[in-house]
């Protein structure tokens, strides 16, 4: 009999997030599962790594085919800890999420959830990030099962191209059922008017990051368009940031 695949799970909403619990429930029937997740909320931590202070992971649950660690690190730290220290073999798959809130379009660059996925791909491990378009702590994940399992099984069976990982976003629940899955491009969108200005009790000015998401991308094949049309969006991502088409065109000699 073939050995069960080892699936490493993390997220950026912290170890108590309902989205993480949902993902654990969906992955356990598919293989041996190790969870390495952060004690604190790591939303917006992007690809940060902890270099100024040490990491102290703790094993908090162990059952047949299941281990759960809590850490004081970032999502990227968690993948590195799993790969290099806590697991006795390289994971066959990394999944991250299910994020409370969209990681479509430019959000991917700020996301700890997606950083974990990119980090795994650097080490050649197939990896998928799942996000739901509902950032509320009590978001309803009841409609996601089939989509998450379908995509995960296909990646377990077929793998992914070298250096490529998947960014999967799922529409929030509504009276209209999700129509299907679309493989897309990252939309060209951004955040504008980003800070609220306030005064502290001592009259000093402070700013709190907020803002408004603006998508000016009218192309048909973007993740934002697929999601607006009530499809699950799948964007293949790479950790090579080179703008290849300009390598031969720029000249600073």
Residues of span 187-216 touching a copy of itself by CB under 8 A: 188, 190, 192-195, 197-198, 200, 204-209, 211
> Least CB distance from residue 201 to a copy of itself, whole Å?
12
Find the shortest distance in angstroms from Cβ 28 to a copy of itself. 22
Q: Which is nearer to a copy of itself, 64 or 243 (CB)?
A: 243
DSSP assigned state of 147: H
Window contacting a copy of itself (CB under 8 A); options: 25-33, 87-95, 114-122, 130-138: 114-122
Alpha-carbon distances of 134 from 44, 101, 243, rounded to whole Å: 16, 5, 32
What residues contact residue 48 under an 8 Å CB cut-off, 6+ apart? 74, 76, 112, 115
- Measured between alpha carbons, how far is 236 from 127 in angstroms, rounded to an integer? 10
CB of residue 117 vs a copy of itself: minimum separation in angstroms? Answer: 10
Q: Name the one residue in this structure whose structure tokens are 């293989």.
A: 31
Enumerate residues 209-248 that contact a copy of itself by CB under 8 A. 209, 211, 221, 234-244, 246-248
Query: What is the Cα Rg of the chain in Å?
Result: 19
Residues in the chain: 253
Taking the least distance from each CB to a copy of itself, the nearer of 35 and 155 is 155
Say how far apart CA 205 and CA 207 lie, in whole Å: 7
The interface mask with a copy of itself, positions 6-35, x = CB under 8 A, is ------------------------------
Counting residues that bind a copy of itself (by CB under 8 A) gives 79
The C-alpha atoms of residue 4 and residue 238 are separated, in whole angstroms, by: 27
């Amino acid at each position: 009999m073939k050995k069960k695949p080892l699936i490493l799970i993390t997220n950026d909403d912290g170890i108590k997030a309902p989205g993480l619990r949902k993902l654990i429930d969906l992955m356990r029937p598919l293989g041996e599962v190790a969870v390495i997740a952060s004690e604190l909320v790591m939303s917006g931590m992007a690809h940060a790594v902890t270099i100024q202070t040490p990491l102290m992971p703790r094993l908090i649950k162990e059952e047949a085919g299941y281990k759960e660690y809590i850490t004081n690190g970032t999502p990227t730290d968690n993948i590195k800890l799993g790969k290099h220290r806590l697991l006795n073999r390289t994971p066959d798959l990394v999944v991250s999420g299910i994020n409370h809130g969209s990681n479509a379009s430019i959000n991917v660059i700020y996301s700890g959830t997606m950083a974990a996925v990119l980090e795994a791909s650097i080490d050649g491990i197939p990896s998928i990030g799942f996000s739901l378009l509902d950032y509320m702590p009590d978001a309803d994940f009841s409609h996601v099962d089939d989509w998450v399992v379908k995509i995960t099984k296909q990646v377990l069976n077929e793998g992914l191209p070298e250096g490529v990982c998947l960014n999967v976003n799922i529409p929030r629940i509504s009276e209209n059922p999700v129509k299907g899955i679309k493989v897309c491009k990252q939309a060209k969108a951004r955040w504008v008017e980003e800070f609220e200005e306030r005064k502290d009790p001592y009259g000093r000015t402070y700013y709190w990051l907020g803002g408004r998401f603006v998508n000016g991308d009218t192309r048909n094949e973007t993740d934002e368009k697929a999601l607006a049309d009530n499809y699950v969006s799948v964007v293949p991502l790479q950790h090579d940031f080179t703008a290849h088409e300009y390598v031969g065109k720029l000249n600073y000699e």
